[in-house]
Amino acid sequence: MQPLIITCAGVGAEVSRAQQPALPLTAEEIAQDAAECRAAGASIYHLHVRDDMGNPTMDAEVYRAALAAIRDATDVIVQFSSGGAVTDTEDVRIAPLDLEPEMASLTTGTVNFGSEVFWNPPSLIERFYARMRELGIVPEFEIFEPGMIANAQRVYDERAESHHMHFDFVLGVPGAMPAWEDSVAYLARHIPSEATWSATGIGRWHLAVTAAAIGLGGHVRTGFEDVIYFERGRLADGNAQLIDRVASMGRAAGRDIATPDRARNLLGL
Ligand code: KMH
Ligand code: ZN
């Protein structure tokens, strides 16, 4: 099996510091978090940013500051979110891509998201994907529902692209695909054979999805965007604690932990 690529989704757009006191918010806090997560075994940092009030923002200047601070602190792959928050418009969500991160997330379909709708119609997917490819950014296709795999394949084929395809299965969002026992295996079976994939389970589904992904040879995403508790009733001390647990689970299953450069190699960056 490949060395395990661990992604830290350390900030997100939905969780607040009132819910998770260790949530990093400023560029400096995020950079320190990224360095700690790298030391614990993370090779990718999935980046959302916050404004001065701690609210989610897609302001390119805030992204620029966070990207610079992370690059000063560590060598992790920085993956921008292009999903933002459900209230963000298409134009707002695409703007930070101009900063040319190595990777960016791309959700390939519209999906219910709690009591909201995460809006990703075909025209948005095509526009975001085209912009990423113009800038040489490798997308991570965010898969909340099986049909999104076919949508990712469609934009890839339509542009006759030849980059490496990498997917992330996000399971257990209320309104989207649940983390059923066979969800991870099902999705992994339906992506192209040469593609790589990671998985994450939201909240209480987190450990089951992590274990399934490690066992099936996939990669893992964790962090406060997806899970804020270390165990029932006990908040995680920090993102690095969650990364450390995934790395331990990976090692116990015989997987080496990928460095950022090894992950770059596996992901064709
Ligand atoms: N915050 C969600 C609405 C992504 O980063 O690309 C979207 C999300 C996916 O987190
Ligand atoms: Zn995200």
State which of 82, 105, 171, 224 you would mutate to test the pocket of ligand 1, scoring each by most atoms of that ligand within 8 A of its C-beta: 105
The full 3-state SS of the chain, as one line of letters, equals CCCECEEECCCCCCCCCCCCCCCCCCHHHHHHHHHHHHHHCCCEEEECEECCCCCEECCHHHHHHHHHHHHHHCCCEEEECCCCCCCCCHHHHHHHHHHCCCEEEEECCCEEECCEEECCCHHHHHHHHHHHHHCCCEEEEEECCCHHHHHHHHHHHHCCCCCCCEEEEEECCCCCCCCCCCHHHHHHHCCCCCCEEEEEECHHHHHHHHHHHHHCCCEEEECCCCCCEEECCEECCCHHHHHHHHHHHHHHCCCCECCHHHHHHHHCC
pLDDT tens-place string over residues 115-148: 999 999 999 999 999 999 999 999 999 999 999 9
Ligand 1 atom nearest to 116, measured from its CA: 3
> Token pair for residue 214?
């490690």
- Looking at residue 268, its pLDDT comes to 96
Which amino acid is present at 48? H
Neighbouring CB atoms inside 10 A of 39's CB total 12
Ligand 1 center–CA 81 separation, angstroms: 6
- Looking at residue 267, its pLDDT comes to 98
**Is residue 222 within 6 Å of ligand 1 at its C-beta?**
no
Ligand 1 center–CA 142 separation, angstroms: 8
Neighbouring residues of the ion ligand 2, judged by CB less than 5 Å: 81
In the chain, the N- to C-terminal Cα span, in Å, equals 20
- Looking at residue 266, its pLDDT comes to 98
**Is residue 82 within 6 Å of ligand 1 at its C-beta?**
yes
Residue bearing the CA closest to ligand 1, atom 10: 83
Residue 162 has pLDDT above 90, yes or no: no
Residue bearing the CA closest to ligand 1, atom 7: 83
Inter-CA distances, 82 with 96, 217, 248, Å:
8, 27, 30
| Structural domain boundaries in the chain | 6-267
> Token pair for residue 265?
């190699």
Report angle CA 139, 78, 256 to the nearest 5 degrees.
90
pLDDT tens-place string over residues 164-197: 999 999 999 999 999 999 999 999 999 999 999 9
Dist. CA 204–CA 202, nearest whole Å: 6
pLDDT tens-place string over residues 53-102: 999 999 999 999 999 999 999 999 999 999 999 999 999 999 999 999 99
* Reported confidence tier of residue 161, pLDDT bands at 50, 70, 90: confident
* Reported confidence tier of residue 160, pLDDT bands at 50, 70, 90: confident
pLDDT tens-place string over residues 222-255: 999 999 999 999 999 999 999 999 999 999 999 9
Residue 108 has pLDDT above 90, yes or no: yes
- Looking at residue 163, its pLDDT comes to 94
Residue bearing the CA closest to ligand 1, atom 4: 83
Residue bearing the CA closest to ligand 1, atom 9: 83
Percent of the chain with pLDDT over 70: 100
**Is residue 83 within 6 Å of ligand 1 at its C-beta?**
yes
Domain 6-267 sits in CATH 3.20.20.70:
yes
Please list the residues that pair with 219 across neighbouring strands. Answer: 198
